[in-house]
Structure 1
Amino acid sequence: MALTADSPLTDLLQEKPEAAQILMRFGMGCVGCALASGETIRQAAEGHGIPLAELLDALGIEQ
């Protein structure tokens, strides 16, 4: 399954465990919080004020 900006964070972390370090580098320390289970990558970026394109690039995900 290809990851996109609309993939849940849980899918991202299952497919790319190393993504946790990238998310934390962007100030998203709540990788394991309850909200992360239902939040998409896009929603997390918006909620943390992170430019989506920059985050996707760091994660190696196509826009």
Structure 2
Amino acid sequence: MKITEDMKVCEILDLDDRLEVLFENHGLPCSGCPGAVQETLREAADGHDIDITALLEDLNKEA
């Protein structure tokens, strides 16, 4: 499954436990964050000044 910026963070984290580390490596400690249920990947990245392109590349390599 390809990960896209419009997916909810919680949906992405549910795909594979290893993805949590990638989020953390990019400065997004999403596990346990209430925003992970509501926010899309784009919203989370924008809110934390994260490069969405690099994050998506890494997530899709691992997923």
Same fold, TM-score > 0.5, yes or no: yes
Q: Name whichever structure is richer in helix by fraction.
A: 2
TM-score, normalised to structure 2's length? 0.83
Give the % identical residues: 33
Structure 2 residue ranges without an equivalent (≥5): none
Structure 1 residue ranges without an equivalent (≥5): none
Shift of 1:2: 4.2
Q: For this pair of structures, how many residues does the alignment match?
A: 61
TM-score, normalised to structure 1's length? 0.83
Alignment RMSD: 1.6
* Counterpart in the other structure of 2:49: 49
* Counterpart in the other structure of 2:31: 31
Shift of 1:46: 0.6
Runs of 4+, deviation exceeding 3 Å: none
